[in-house]
Structure 1
Amino acid sequence: MAAAETIAAIVSEMKKEGGFTLPSFGTFSVKKTKARKSLSPRTGEPVKVKAGKTVRFKASPNLKKAG
């Protein structure tokens, strides 16, 4: 249950601040996406995708060295 509480706290912080940093691990940030046209993978038909938000992650130099 501790993991669920930690994730809930991170999500809350990202909603409030637009990002979250875990030292020696990396930074999560919220980015806005524009509305766009795409293709349905099932039918190949063009579809409209609404504007929204997505989460990006940038690994810290320490994490990159470890990997």
Structure 2
Amino acid sequence: MRKPELASAIADQTGLTKEKASEVINAVTDQISAATARGDDVSLIGFGTFSVRKRDARTGRNPQTGATIQIPASRTVGFKAGKALKEAVSG
């Protein structure tokens, strides 16, 4: 499901227009992005938790040349599914 399809489903379920539903989706994703950029976790009870994960610097290998390269430390976003989402997926 892509964002327009999600907006359409939300509009059908809530009675909002597709445009308003799309605005709501954008607002939610913007807030999740802003919170994780600050290093905060975002927990949606029953759905899951978005958290910032740190990757240590490490040595890698260029697959084309085989040369060893140094990969710098970085931060990334992880997602851990909540109990209700896991149960919905597993049936």
TM-score (norm 1): 0.82
Give 1:43 shift: 2.8
CA offset digits 1:21-52 (Å, max 9, x no partner): 11211001101111101112333322111111
Report the 3-state secondary structure (helix = DSSP H, G, I; strand = E; otherwise coil) of the residue aligned with 1:11: helix
CA offset digits 1:1-25 (Å, max 9, x no partner): 4222221111112223521011211
The structure where helix makes up a greater share of residues is 2
Aligned pair count reads 67
Counterpart of 2:49 in structure 1 is: 27
Report the 3-state secondary structure (helix = DSSP H, G, I; strand = E; otherwise coil) of the residue aligned with 2:86: helix
Q: Identity rate of aligned residues, in percent?
A: 34
Unaligned runs of 5+ in 1: none
Please provide the CA RMSD for this pair.
1.6
Unaligned runs of 5+ in 2: 1-21
TM-score (norm 2): 0.64
